[in-house]
Amino acid sequence: MHASLRARSSVWHADTVTTPPPGLRERKKQATREALREAALRLAVERGPDHVRVEDIAEAAGVSPRTYNNYFASREQAIVAAVTADREARIAAVVAARPAGVRLADAVTEAVVEQYTNTGEREHEALLLITTRTALRDAFLDATAGIEPPLTVVIAERLGDAGAHTARVLAASVAAAVRIALEGWLRPAGNAGAAEGFGAGGLVVPSGSLPDRLRAALAPLAPAFDAAERRTQP
Amino acid sequence: MHASLRARSSVWHADTVTTPPPGLRERKKQATREALREAALRLAVERGPDHVRVEDIAEAAGVSPRTYNNYFASREQAIVAAVTADREARIAAVVAARPAGVRLADAVTEAVVEQYTNTGEREHEALLLITTRTALRDAFLDATAGIEPPLTVVIAERLGDAGAHTARVLAASVAAAVRIALEGWLRPAGNAGAAEGFGAGGLVVPSGSLPDRLRAALAPLAPAFDAAERRTQP
DNA sequence: CAGGAAACATGCGTGCACGCAAGTTTGCGT
DNA sequence: ACGCAAACTTGCGTGCACGCATGTTTCCTG
Domain layout of chain A by residue ranges? 24-83, 86-189+208-230
Percent of chain A residues past pLDDT 70, beyond the cut: 82
Residue B160 DSSP SS3: coil
Which architecture characterizes domain B86-191+204-234 according to CATH? Orthogonal Bundle (1.10)
pLDDT at A100: 87
Percent of chain A residues past pLDDT 90, beyond the cut: 70
- Give the DSSP per-residue string, B98-111: S-TTS-HHHHHHHH
Given a contact cutoff of 8 angstroms between Cβ atoms, the answer to whether A109 and A217 are in contact is: no
Dist. CA A75–CA A81, nearest whole Å: 10
Interatomic CA–C1' length for residue A130 and nucleotide C24, angstroms: 37
Which residue(s) pair with A17 in the sheet? A15
Using an 8 Å CB-CB cutoff, list chain A residues near B170: 220
Does residue B57 carry a pLDDT above 60? yes
Band (pLDDT 50/70/90 cuts) for residue A122 is confident
Within 7 A of a protein CB, which nucleotides of strand C?
Answer: 7-13, 15-20, 26-28
- Give the DSSP H or E segment for A146: none
pLDDT digit string (tens) for A56-75?
A: 999 999 999 999 999 999 99
pLDDT digit string (tens) for B18-49?
A: 556 678 799 999 999 999 999 999 999 999 99
Given a contact cutoff of 8 angstroms between Cβ atoms, the answer to whether B158 and B104 are in contact is: yes
Mutate to test the interface with B, among A187, A221, A230 (most CBs of B within 10 A): A221
Residues 29-48 of A with CB under 7 A from strand D: 29, 32
| Residue with more model confidence, A126 or A14 | A126
Answer yes or no: CATH 3.50.50.60 is held by domain B21-83.
no
Answer yes or no: CATH 2.60.40.10 is held by domain A24-83.
no
The residue of chain A with its CA nearest to that of B178 is A169
Within 7 A of a protein CB, which nucleotides of strand D?
Answer: 7-13, 15-20, 26-28
Band (pLDDT 50/70/90 cuts) for residue A14 is very low
Which residues, by CB, come closer than 7 Å to strand C?
A 23-26, 28, 52-55, 66, 69, 73-75; B 2, 25-26, 28-29, 32, 63-67, 70
Question: Can you tell me the mean pLDDT for A7-31?
Answer: 63
